[in-house]
A and B are shown apart, each in its own frame.
Chain A
Amino acid sequence: MEKFTIHARAKATLSGKSANAITGVVASGNLEILFERKGDSLDVTVDVMTASHGYQPVWEAVIKDFVERVSPGGMHIAIHDNGARPDTVLLRLMQGARLMEAQS
């Protein structure tokens, strides 16, 4: 298992009222992502725990893409990965952001 934290800076904070949200399951080829709102900062932190070794540069690329698309400022994101492909990771990140943007 590999653990690392990726820091990024978003252009804007993520809208919405949800304090936290979870999406996905730690199944084979899948991952779970927990979003938590940490104030109005533009900082984004992503804690990754992954069963696959040696893919940190790929994770950094996927998260850079996600931050550019969604601007999830103020999010603390924690990931438990069990060998998901990059497209699945991006899909789950987008799902999580959508849940956080809920207005109630």
Chain B
Amino acid sequence: MIPENVMNEPSWYESSARARINGLLDADSFSEILGPVDRVMSPHLALFDLPPAFDDGMIIGRGSIDGRSVAVAAQEGQFMGGTFAEVSGAKLVGLLRAVARSAGTPQAVSTVFLLLDTGGVRLQEANAGEMAVSETIRAILDVRKAGVPVVALIGGRAGAFGGGGLVTACCSHIIISEQGRISVSGPEVIETNKGVEEFDSRDRALVWRVTGGRSRVLLGGADAYVKGDIASFRKSAAQVSNSVPSFSLQTLEQEQERLEQRLQAYGGCRDTPEIWTIAGLPTPDGIADLTEDEFIRLLAKEGIRHDAR
């Protein structure tokens, strides 16, 4: 059952990218860069007889959270599956580069928030999309190197798949909800390549059990778990700033070691309950059935094991 305080809140999962930005930032603080009126659109979709979007499904700009200046980029997951493409990618990379360049100046922002909601690269402009993913990764690392945290917020309908999964993993901090999913190869892709015995993409419980927010945060692939309403994402985002570990070689080496240990411990598992059994969690078969409050209590008890962050 949905708790009453969540039922009446706008849901992150159900909201458009613009509604998420408005709920995340201080009221009326958002100032968009290259907005719909500028009509910076994909030049490729017409070739495929597809309608474009005025913002190419990527909304970028600046605003504030609790008065602190931040940069924000949000993908519209409902347009072309929230894809990385030439124009949308250039907007995101441009924003990140501007943030890195302005670090330490009066125009600096305290944090970058990436509201990712994507199935990966847009197939109609795939080469440009792949380039956009790699340029985005480079730009995120440059922003982190300049001392500005990059925070991913994952809870949209398309999840964070393909290049979106890689980009998410490169962020300083990841906030996720139960509905959020992070992975590289999507369920359909795995099933197509390896067969239904490997992964049944129509088994929704399996998909969420493996790629969903609860598993990701228990395994350390996300750093904060929130209920699926916009206000919870905002609250968690507002608290982030000072809890991000330094972006150093030592951090990365420690993480590499942790991931090797993780692979050793769980590499033979076929499904998440097997992992939770080895990890010694109570009710390993019932993690998905816990209420949000019960899960958050479990998480507080177990602690979060960071991934490279």
CA distance A34 to B52 in the complex (A): 13
In the complex, identify which listed stretch (B43-51, B193-201, B240-248) lies at the interface while the others stay far away: B43-51
CA distance A65 to B17 in the complex (A): 30
Query: B37: CB under 8 A from chain A?
Result: yes
Query: B272: CB under 8 A from chain A?
Result: no
CB distance A34 to B51 under 8 Å?
no
Q: How many residues of B contact A (CB 8 A)?
A: 18
CA distance A27 to B35 in the complex (A): 18
- Decide: A20 near B51, CB < 8 A? Known: A1-B46, A30-B78: no
* A contact residues vs B (CB 8 Å cutoff): 1, 20, 22, 25-28, 30, 32, 34, 36, 49-51, 78, 80-82
- Decide: A22 near B36, CB < 8 A? Known: A1-B46, A27-B78: yes
A27 to chain B: which residues have CB within 8 Å?
78-79
Which of B63-112 touch A at CB < 8 Å?
76, 78-80
Q: A51 — nearest CB in chain B belongs to which residue?
A: B51
Which of B181-237 touch A at CB < 8 Å?
none
CA distance A30 to B239 in the complex (A): 36
B36 to chain A: which residues have CB within 8 Å?
20, 22, 32, 34
CA distance A68 to B10 in the complex (A): 33
Closest 6 CB pairs of A and B: A27-B78, A80-B51, A22-B36, A26-B53, A1-B49, A25-B78
B37 to chain A: which residues have CB within 8 Å?
20, 34, 36
Q: Interface 1/0s, chain B 24-39, versus A by CB < 8 A?
A: 0000000000011100
